[in-house]
Amino acid sequence: MTSQEAQGELVSTRFATIAVLIIFISSLFALFMVYRTFPNVTEEERQHIKLPWNIEDAKQLGIVLNRYKSDHYYQVMAGVFITYIFLQTFAIPGSLFLSILSGFLFPFFIALALVCTCSMVGAALCFLLSQLLGRRLVLKYFPERAEKWALEVNKHKDHLFNYMVFLRVTPFLPNWFINLTAPVIGVPLSPFAFGTFVGVAPPSFIAIQGGQTLQSMTAEDSAFSINSFIWLAVFGVISLIPIFLKKRLREKID
């Protein structure tokens, strides 16, 4: 690489870093505005209005939001929506507890649509941010893992939608790794986004069901039991069936 090319890449990286910082600050401002426009709450309630990092946080936040939901339904929903997308966009842990919280606050199918939409939008935004800045980070910190996944993606290039559904249903790769690495190894945005929407539905289904019993859950409880993992394995196998059928059909044609 010539010195001119190196300088151009450095300028490009700086520009990307500044753009990501601006997006991050703008997102924080949006969260702050949601917090500021929330109805007046007591000091005791205010301490529970924070990102849930565990079941107890989700439970206390659910109690507060449920009190105001009847009079401020769309504000509460918008708060969950924006917060969920923020966590997904910047690969911040905690979205599982928001899925559980959604199951507690909203009717089942509304909660499922909300969680799937937030997951798709947040993952797509993370994908786009990774296109700006992620290549250097991924290739520096996860070179071997990214190379292995690139080989797998190349094997499934004719059915990436089904492959993305499989990855979202099963726990073989963390969601944050998928979001950051996908654009680096050449996964197109369309199958990535729609595969995410469909693929997160089964685990979200389980988390939302857990949210319906949120108030009786404890820190030792989990939304994912052995039965849950069995069901996720079943959904994972189902997502691969079209791939095998396509291969068999291609073999017959050839």
pLDDT given for residue 197 in this prediction: 94
- pLDDT by residue for the chain (254 residues), tens only, comes to 555 444 545 556 677 778 778 888 988 888 888 777 777 777 777 788 888 888 888 888 888 888 888 888 888 898 899 999 999 998 888 888 898 899 899 998 999 999 999 999 999 999 988 887 767 777 777 788 888 888 888 877 878 888 888 888 887 788 888 888 888 888 899 999 999 999 888 888 888 887 777 665 544 455 545 555 555 555 556 655 655 655 554 555 55
Instruction: Say how far apart CA 7 and CA 2 lie, in whole Å.
Output: 9
pLDDT given for residue 245 in this prediction: 53
Instruction: Say how far apart CA 96 and CA 81 lie, in whole Å.
Output: 13
* Length, in residues, of the chain: 254
pLDDT given for residue 121 in this prediction: 93
pLDDT given for residue 74 in this prediction: 87
- SS3 at position 148: helix
Instruction: Say how far apart CA 191 and CA 162 lie, in whole Å.
Output: 8
pLDDT given for residue 59 in this prediction: 86
Q: What is the pTM of this model?
A: 0.79
Torsion of Cα atoms, 129 then 134 then 135 then 138, to 10°: -150
pLDDT given for residue 235 in this prediction: 59
